[in-house]
């Protein structure tokens, strides 16, 4: 640990417009950790390049993701907000941990299989070793807790395995982190195919609600959401579309499923879809307004990048130096 206060780490890729799944499953919950933990929140641009990126788009989205962090309530005075590539220790530790990660472990990663099938023309080594870089991100800061969506739980479990393996050879090197997965909204599904997770890379734009969608677009997308042939708003097996909409409504209103069922008793799906769209748009409106203010001040965002990188690098160097010394690397001052 970096001191008496426990450590929280998480990161978001700047590889596309962020969705309400990113917001409800991760970013919105980040600020709740600020009081109890020392928090490091990273724009993980190095992870983004496992898939080919247009350089100008990657640069723009890096600014946008940092602005969204702050617009969603992350106070730079209470959290360390920075860009991954600005702290070289992430990549340095990743190489070391590659040498303590088994090929078989990486080949079992579900996301590698999924992304390989989607990008069959670019199954690169970085895509394969992506989880080791993620482990380095986490372990660099002696992280205690990692707030993640359920789809990233497997990667955090691998991170724990790597830390424990390294600690067996070199005792007391890394803190072994715990994943924290929000119970409500832990996985927001596609509006077009509610058996699949909502993904910012989905080609069907009606399947996704972006954090920055305008009010009319949000309501239109929810009106078109796939449901079922029933007409009763209730949470039940086989009602994937309605279950997903009820989960989203619950996240934005704080109401549980029984309350939602009572609220919409005797009312059809049309009324319910409109209500979900309206509460979503209402919740995102202040986030969007703050985001536009922040993005207009490019110099301010760059100042935050510099400040955050300096803070993160201070802690990262401590861990990296400890690891290098234990390995037997010659250190010069």
Nearest to 247 by CA among 238, 232, 260: 260
- The catalytic position among 6, 78, 187, 200 is 200
CB atoms within 10 A of CB 333: 2
- The catalytic position among 115, 186, 221, 273 is 115
Q: CA 277 to CA 179: how far, in whole Å?
A: 31
- The catalytic position among 197, 255, 307, 318 is 197
- Around 240, how many Cα atoms within 13 Å sit in the side-chain half-sphere? 13
Q: Is 200 a catalytic residue?
A: yes
Q: Is 115 a catalytic residue?
A: yes
Going by DSSP bridges, is the β-strand pair 145-147/178-180 parallel, antiparallel, or unpaired? Answer: parallel
How far, CA to CA in Å, does 36 sit from each of 6, 9, 23, 39, 67? 8, 13, 21, 9, 23
Q: Is 186 a catalytic residue?
A: no
Beta bridge partners of 6: 37
Q: CA 38 to CA 69: how far, in whole Å?
A: 16
Q: CA 151 to CA 173: how far, in whole Å?
A: 27
- Around 158, how many Cα atoms within 13 Å sit in the side-chain half-sphere? 28
CB atoms within 10 A of CB 177: 22
The residue written with tokens 């991760």 in the block is: 26
Q: Are 92 and 313 in contact (CB under 8 A)?
A: no
Q: CA 326 to CA 84: how far, in whole Å?
A: 25
Q: CA 194 to CA 180: how far, in whole Å?
A: 24
**What residues are labeled active site?**
115, 197, 200
């Amino acid at each position: 640990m970096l001191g008496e206060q426990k450590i929280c780490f998480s990161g978001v890729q700047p590889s596309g417009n962020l969705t309400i799944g990113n917001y409800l499953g991760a970013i919105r919950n980040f600020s709740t950790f600020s009081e109890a933990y020392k928090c490091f929140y990273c724009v993980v641009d190095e992870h983004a390049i496992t898939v080919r990126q247009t350089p100008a788009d990657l640069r723009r989205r890096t600014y946008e993701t940092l602005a969204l962090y702050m617009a969603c309530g992350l106070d730079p005075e209470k959290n360390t907000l920075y860009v991954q590539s600005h702290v070289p220790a992430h990549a340095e530790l990743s190489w070391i941990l590659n040498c303590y990660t088994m090929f078989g472990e990486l080949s079992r990663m579900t996301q590698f299989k999924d992304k390989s099938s989607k990008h069959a023309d670019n199954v690169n080594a970085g895509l394969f070793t992506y989880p080791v870089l993620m482990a380095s991100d986490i372990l660099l800061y002696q992280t205690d807790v990692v707030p993640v969506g359920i789809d990233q739980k497997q990667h955090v479990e691998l991170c724990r395995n790597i830390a424990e393996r390294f600690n067996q050879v070199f005792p007391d090197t890394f803190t072994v982190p715990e994943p924290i997965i929000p119970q409500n909204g832990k996985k927001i599904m596609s509006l077009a195919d509610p058996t699949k997770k909502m993904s910012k890379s989905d080609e069907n734009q009606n399947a996704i609600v972006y954090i920055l969608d305008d009010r009319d677009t949000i309501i239109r997308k929810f009106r078109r959401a796939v449901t079922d042939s029933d007409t009763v708003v209730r949470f039940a097996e086989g009602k994937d579309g309605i279950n997903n909409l009820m989960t989203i409504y619950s996240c934005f209103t704080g109401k549980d499923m029984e309350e939602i069922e009572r609220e919409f008793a005797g009312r059809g799906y049309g009324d319910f879809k409109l209500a979900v769209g309206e509460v979503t748009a209402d919740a995102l409106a202040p986030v969007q307004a703050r985001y536009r203010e922040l993005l207009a001040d490019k110099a301010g965002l760059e100042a935050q990048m510099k400040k955050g990188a300096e803070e993160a690098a201070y802690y990262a160097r401590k861990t990296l130096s400890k690891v290098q010394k234990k390995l037997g690397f010659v250190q010069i001052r």
